[in-house]
Amino acid sequence: MTTATIPSPTRTMTYLPALKKTDPKIRDLILQEEKREFEKLRLIPSENYASHAVKEATGGIFTNKYSEGYPNKRYYEGQQLTDQVESLAQERAKEIFGADHVNVQPHSGSPANMASFRAVLKPGDTIMGLSLPHGGHLTHGWKANFSGSLYNSVPYELDPETEMLNYDMILKQAREFKPQLIIAGYTAYPRKIDWTKFREICDDVGAKFHADTSHITGLIAGGEHANPFPISDIGITTTHKTLRGPRGAMILCKEENAEVVNKAIIPGIQGGPHIHTISAIAVALQEATTPEFKTYAQQVVKNAKALAERLLSHGFRLVTGGTDNHLILMEVFESKGIPGREASKSLDKAGIVCNCNMVPFDKRTPFNPSGIRIGTPSMSSRGMKETEMEKLGDWINEAISNAEDETVLARIAGEVKSMCIQFPAPGIDPANWNE
């Protein structure tokens, strides 16, 4: 097995000293998670590395403060600084994404979608979003979710021939069902989205246009993908994933929807906002305006394309035949004879972390589907490039081809660790582990 050496310690102060004294078990679990994120290749497309600055803000003093309401209109006193923090986050988001209004208070993407729908819909209204098994999200109309139980959901699907969005099919369905809201933006779709086509479809049937860019927001901020918010009526994004911020969310909308959006958050579904998270969102948005972030966004796409080409050379079948963004959806059951969950577990043993995932028109169950989903944001944040993606493609092929051979998987894990040590992970200092 290939061995790897962690860099020698450089710190002279105790790392997480208060936790070491108060709760050493939790401190130890934090250290173990840092090691795991440092020593493995993290391919889950929705995961990334937050910077030290984002982490400092997330764990900062604003965790102590209640601030129900909005800037200059709070229910509690002592808001002189929280107002400035939230306003900064709002203004930075508006500038980057060209939105009239931004609400930065949603705790995550699902409540952001819930509040967005609550703002512009009535219970029982008809919505259209991409079906979950085809790459949509739970909150886009899945029956087990609030979006499918509170609203009349008529999901659209991908083209069975191309596995891509078919805008003519979506328009035909919209004309038939006359939805009040059409959702664009996905969790497992590897191609670019024509936002203008969705705007035209919505205008044709009198529907609101909702854009959910949670997965690709960092690519939009970095100039790699088109920005829907100047033309959508309303939309949301999470603030982690490709944007590399804390785990939170934002609602972006036209000025005409600003008041109903704010009321949908509070008193609609939330109380006090998490100002410590909002402060970290502001930091992440500031980082997203730098030349370094643009370079990172470009490399995310380059890496995904390079990895896709390598996987294709090994005989894997990729949904849509490739990728335009940060993720790759692979079918492995029919092409490689291994279920998606078994493949993902074997890859994890090999130091390669991904998730099993349904593919369009999958005949297997969500708990053991035919595919796996992988992405390049985390690796790109570490500075890995096309050469590393080619090596990764070889490792994925070898691990899946030897899914039951513990010796092979352990060897690959050692080689993965050796490569990871060569690339710093933002927000993680290995020197801390030697105390």
Active site (catalytic) residues: 66, 68, 212, 238, 241, 247
First to last CA, the chain: 26
Question: How far is 195 from 185, CA to CA, in rounded Å?
Answer: 9
- Distance separating alpha carbons of residues 184 and 189, to the nearest angstrom: 11
The burial class, CB within 10 Å (0-12 / 13-18 / 19+), for 269 is middle
Assigned token pair, 14:
């105790």
- How far is residue 286 from each of residues 85, 120, 231, measured CA to CA in Å? 12, 30, 24
Whether omega for the bond prior to residue 267 falls within 30 degrees of 0, making it cis, is yes
3-state secondary structure of 14: coil
CA distances from 405 to 316, 400, 408, 409 (A): 20, 10, 6, 6
Give the DSSP letter of residue 7. P
Radius of gyration (C-alpha) of the chain in whole angstroms: 22
Q: What is the largest CA-CA distance in the chain?
A: 68
Distance of CA 362 to the CA centre of its chain: 23
β-bridge mates for residue 126, sequence order: 152
Please give the distance of CA 373 from its chain centroid, rounded to a whole number: 12
Burial class (CB in 10 A: 0-12, 13-18, 19+), 367: exposed
Q: What tokens does 177 get?
A: 């069902």
Question: For residue 162, how far is the Cα from the chain centroid?
Answer: 24
C-alpha span between 241 and 248 (Å, rounded): 10
Helices (DSSP H) in 150-290: which residue ranges? 167-177, 195-205, 217-221, 258-263, 275-287
Task: Please state, in angstroms and rounded to a whole number, the distance separating the CA atoms of residues 331 and 316.
Answer: 7
